Amino acid sequence: MCLDTRTNKTVAIKEMEIYEPEDLEVYQTEVSVHRSIVHPNIAKFIDAFAEKDNYYIVLEYCSGGDLEKLIKQRKRTKKFFTEEELTKLYTQLADALFYLHQDRRILHRDIKS
């Protein structure tokens, strides 16, 4: 989490090390895909840049955290999801995946909880 000084908004930054020149090509391909994705349930792409031996992808910051964090918090506090909450979560996930797979023909290979 960082502050974008141009917009004064909080953003998320994905940091990746550049080990080989080919890594940069892979990261730039990821950026071109991210740039094309516009969906309410997928973090928006903002910017990307290389600096020294790292490549950074700047994305919209989702203040509610991610699903894994929510699941762990609920487990810790023993406040289980209601059927309504689960339905909403699954609907958002399915909608985002449908958009990627069917509408954009993008296969997401790193889906986490």
One digit per residue, the tens of pLDDT, for the chain of length 113 reads 788 888 888 999 999 999 988 888 889 988 998 999 999 999 999 999 999 899 999 999 988 888 888 999 999 999 999 999 999 999 999 999 999 999 899 887 777 76
The secondary element (H helix, E strand) that includes residue 59 is: strand 54-60
Say how far apart CA 50 and CA 26 lie, in whole Å: 13
Give the position of tokens 């954009």: 104
**Coil/strand/helix, residue 106:** coil
Query: Hey, which residues does 9 pair with through a beta bridge?
Result: 4
Please list the active-site residues.
Answer: 110
Domains annotated for the chain, with CATH where assigned, are 1-63 (3.30.200.20), 64-113 (no CATH)
How many CB atoms sit inside 10 A of residue 95's CB?
14
pTM for the model? 0.78
Report pLDDT for 17. Answer: 93
Q: How far is it, in rounded angstroms, from Cα 27 to Cα 49?
A: 10
